[in-house]
């Protein structure tokens, strides 16, 4: 476990200043004190990996259509105009994002896809990562044990993080199968006992998602590897 200050991991970038999961939002997050980035990945209708959180386009674009049914050409034409952001940007591909942030800060890539061929999706993600030679700069996380199992089976050199909302013997048993390098617990789950177990099992710990400044100030002095947060510190 890191005894130094934890990474301040910007959750989808500075999403109060620019649209979430965009290059601009992530640039701004680094300008405002983040020391790492977290973004969400989905496969779009034409097979590319794009940065996007939701299954549907509705929240951002008022379109009742799934990302996985939308080709990249169509996604590139969409504009985040439902909120008056200070800065604008468009949906980007994982490849574009990696090219922009290569050799900068650690990056957590969070896999969001449902109803997608696991192996096809993971191979596409890892292809982009390896194309930019960024295996040592990123790690892949997911709530899905199956995604994590496939990643370690196909690409054992890729670091992984297991996301969970509760901590039980079931999760610990599953982790023996998925062999995650890191645990990503909800911050309310973290106790001294939890940290003792994680140290014993040599797990990195990245807590999520801190939305309030008082909680952030409390957590930032703890011995986690990283804090996934919406709070900007500058």
Q: Which residues are CB-neighbours of 28 under 8 A, at least 6 positions away?
A: 13, 14, 17, 18, 87
Q: How far is CA 92 from the centre of its chain?
A: 15
In the chain, what are the domain boundaries?
7-229
Pairing of strands 49-51, 36-43: antiparallel
Asked which of 27-41, 94-108, 124-138, 210-224 is least confident by mean pLDDT, the reply is 210-224
Determine which of 23-32, 81-90, 164-173 has the lowest per-residue pLDDT on average. Answer: 164-173
Q: Which residue is associated with the tokens 């004190």?
A: 33
Region 194-215: mean pLDDT is 95
- 231 and 209 Cβ atoms separated by less than 8 Å: no
Mind listing the pLDDT tens digit for each residue in 55-107? 999 999 999 999 999 999 999 999 998 889 999 999 999 999 999 999 999 99
* CA dihedral sign of residues 169, 172, 176, 177: positive
Cα distance between residue 54 and residue 59, in whole Å: 8
Average pLDDT over every residue of 203-216: 96
* pLDDT value of residue 2: 46
Element (H, E) at 227: strand 226-229
Q: Do residues 20 and 88 make contact, with C-beta atoms less than 8 angstroms apart?
A: no
Q: Average pLDDT in the 23-34 region?
A: 98
Q: What is the rounded average pLDDT for all residues in the chain?
A: 94
pLDDT score for 3: 53
Per-residue model confidence (pLDDT) at position 234: 65
Residues 136 and 52: their CA atoms lie apart, in Å, by: 23
Is the pLDDT confidence value at 115 over 80?
no
CA pair distance 8, 11, nearest whole angstrom: 9
For residue 124, the tally of other CB atoms under 10 A from its CB is 18
Chosen CATH of 7-229 out of 1.10.8.50, 3.20.20.190, 3.30.70.1350, 2.30.330.10: 3.20.20.190
Least confident of 43-47, 113-117, 183-187: 113-117
Q: What percent of the chain has pLDDT over 70?
A: 97
Percent of the chain exceeding pLDDT 90 equals 87
Cβ atoms of 172 and 198 within 8 Å: the answer is no
């Amino acid at each position: 476990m890191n005894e130094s200050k934890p990474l301040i991991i910007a959750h989808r970038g500075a999403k109060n200043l620019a649209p979430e999961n965009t290059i601009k939002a992530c640039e701004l997050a680094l300008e405002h004190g983040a020391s790492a980035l977290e973004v969400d990945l989905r496969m779009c209708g034409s097979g590319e990996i794009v940065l996007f959180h939701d299954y549907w386009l509705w929240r951002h674009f008022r379109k009742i259509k799934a990302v996985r049914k939308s080709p990249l050409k169509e996604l590139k034409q969409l504009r985040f105009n439902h909120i008056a952001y200070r800065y604008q940007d468009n949906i980007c591909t994982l490849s574009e994002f990696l090219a922009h942030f290569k050799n900068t800060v650690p990056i957590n890539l969070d896999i969001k896809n449902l109803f997608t061929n696991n192996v096809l999706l993971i191979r596409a993600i890892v292809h982009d990562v390896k194309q930019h030679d960024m295996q040592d700069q990123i790690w892949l996380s997911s709530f899905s044990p199956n995604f994590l199992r496939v990643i370690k089976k196909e690409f054992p050199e890729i670091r992984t993080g297991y996301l969970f909302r509760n901590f039980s013997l079931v999760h610990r048993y599953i982790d023996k199968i998925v062999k995650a390098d890191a645990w990503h617990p909800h911050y309310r789950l973290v106790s001294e006992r939890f940290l003792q177990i994680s140290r014993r099992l040599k797990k990195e710990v990245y807590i999520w998602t801190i939305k309030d400044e008082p909680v952030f100030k409390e957590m930032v002095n703890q011995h986690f590897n990283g804090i996934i947060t919406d709070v900007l510190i500058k």
